[in-house]
Structure 1
Amino acid sequence: MRLFVAVNPPVAAVQELADAVAPLRELPGAERLRWTGVEGWHLTLAFLGELPVTELPALTGLLSRVAGEHGAHRLLLAGGGCFGDRALWAGVDGEVWALRRLAEAVREGVTELGVESDQFGFHPHLTLARAGSAHGRRRAARRTDAGDLQGLAGALDGFRGGEWRAGELCLMRSDQDLGASRYTVLERFPLADWSA
């Protein structure tokens, strides 16, 4: 199974962002992007890649422990940015320090299990679109360039969604379906509630 660990924003936060992103799809360069589906929007903490089912018990035990050691925190989706000419993303604000600690704990834990996570450092974001043709195998006339993505990211500068409670870790499975990714929550792990 192709797995990753994520924090999923609530429906209200996703809808706010979807409303802010809708006009971007009409801007120059947007037609050359592969836009992600709102039903799959998430904040990836660690990408684990292909793992055999036999790894699941140790992995779920680890995630349960990590979740119990980290408290729920407040986040909001705000602004945007891009990774060069590869991806357009929405940013994260609020108690991002807590999200970073959580991601670090997950990454350290899976490494101790002998599972390699992605080699990139953690950068809190929600991927909105990736460079490439929006029409599957048919190539776009011109590849999206960094300037196009920077312009789209700039259109999100003023966006600031409502605050929400990040209260659980999710172990997610990624399946490819005709080039598009589908994400399924395999298990949820509640974060500690220290407010009581």
Structure 2
Amino acid sequence: MRLFVAVLPPVEAVQELVDAAAPLRGTAEGERLRWSGVEGWHLTLAFLGELPVVELDRLEQLLGQVAAGHGAHRLRLAGGGNFGDRVLWAGVEGETWALKRLAEAVRVAVAELGVETDQYGFHPHLTLARAGSSHGQRRAERRAAAGGMQALAEELADFRGGEWEAAELHLVRSEQGFGPSRYTTVRSWPLARWEA
């Protein structure tokens, strides 16, 4: 199974972002992008790739331990950015230090199964859209595409959604095919609640 671990924003937070991003879709730059399916919007903590089903029980045990050791925290979707000319994303504010610690704990736990996560540092974000293939693009076209992506990101700069509680850790299956990827939660665990 193709799997990743994520935090899922609530419906209200997703709708706020849908409303903020709607004007961008109709722009010339926005029409050239492949927009991710709203029903699958998530904050990826670790991409695990293809894992054999026989590893699932041990993976679930490890993720349950991670969830039990990390508390729920407050977040909001806010701002926007881009990874070069490839990805347009919405940012995250709030207790991002807790989200980063949770992501690191997930990466350490899955390493026990021999799973290597991506080599880039964790950057809290929600992917909105991706560019098409840049294969064969000339340098000037790539520069123009990056500028267009940057302009879309700047349009989201003032966006601030409502605050919400990240209270669950999700193991998600990704199925690819025609159209946007489809995501199904395999299992979720509540994050710990500690009395102040």
Task: Classify the TM-score, shorter chain.
Answer: over 0.9
- Determine whether 1:24 maps to 2:24: yes
2:138 — aligned with what? none
1:7 — aligned with what? 7
- Determine whether 1:81 maps to 2:81: yes
2:128 — aligned with what? 128
2:63 — aligned with what? 63
Q: SS of 2:82's equivalent?
A: strand
Q: Which amino acid aligns with 2:148?
A: D
Q: SS of 2:28's equivalent?
A: coil
Q: SS of 2:181's equivalent?
A: strand
Poorly superposed stretches of 4+, deviation over 6 Å:
none
Q: SS of 1:82's equivalent?
A: strand
CA shift for structure 1 position 28: 2.6
Deviations 1:132-184 (A, max 9, x none): 17xxxxxxxx7671100000000001100000000000000000121420000
Give the Cα–Cα distance (whole angstroms) in 2 for the partners of residues 195 and 45 of structure 1: 25
Residues 148 and 120 from structure 1, CA distance in 2 versus in 1: closer, same or farther, beyond 3 angstroms?
same
Q: SS of 1:169's equivalent?
A: strand
TM-score (norm 1): 0.93
Please report the RMSD computed on the Cα atoms of aligned residues, expressed in angstroms: 1.5
TM-score (norm 2): 0.93
Give the Cα–Cα distance (whole angstroms) in 2 for the partners of residues 29 and 154 of structure 1: 13
Equivalent residues in 2 for 1:10-159, closer than 5 Å: 10-132=10-132, 145-159=145-159
CA shift for structure 1 position 194: 0.9
Give the Cα–Cα distance (whole angstroms) in 2 for the partners of residues 180 and 48 of structure 1: 19
2:175 — aligned with what? 175
Identity %: 71
Q: SS of 2:176's equivalent?
A: strand
Q: SS of 1:159's equivalent?
A: coil
2:185 — aligned with what? 185
Q: SS of 2:63's equivalent?
A: helix
Q: SS of 1:76's equivalent?
A: strand
Give the Cα–Cα distance (whole angstroms) in 2 for the partners of residues 16 and 40 of structure 1: 15
Give the Cα–Cα distance (whole angstroms) in 2 for the partners of residues 153 and 17 of structure 1: 13
Q: Which amino acid aligns with 1:115?
A: V
Give the Cα–Cα distance (whole angstroms) in 1 for the partners of residues 93 and 185 of structure 2: 24
Give the Cα–Cα distance (whole angstroms) in 1 for the partners of residues 78 and 86 of structure 2: 20
Give the Cα–Cα distance (whole angstroms) in 2 for the partners of residues 2 and 179 of structure 1: 17
Q: SS of 1:185's equivalent?
A: strand
2:137 — aligned with what? none
CA shift for structure 1 position 76: 0.1
Q: SS of 2:158's equivalent?
A: coil
1:165 — aligned with what? 165
In structure 1, stretches of 5+ residues that fail to align are: 134-141
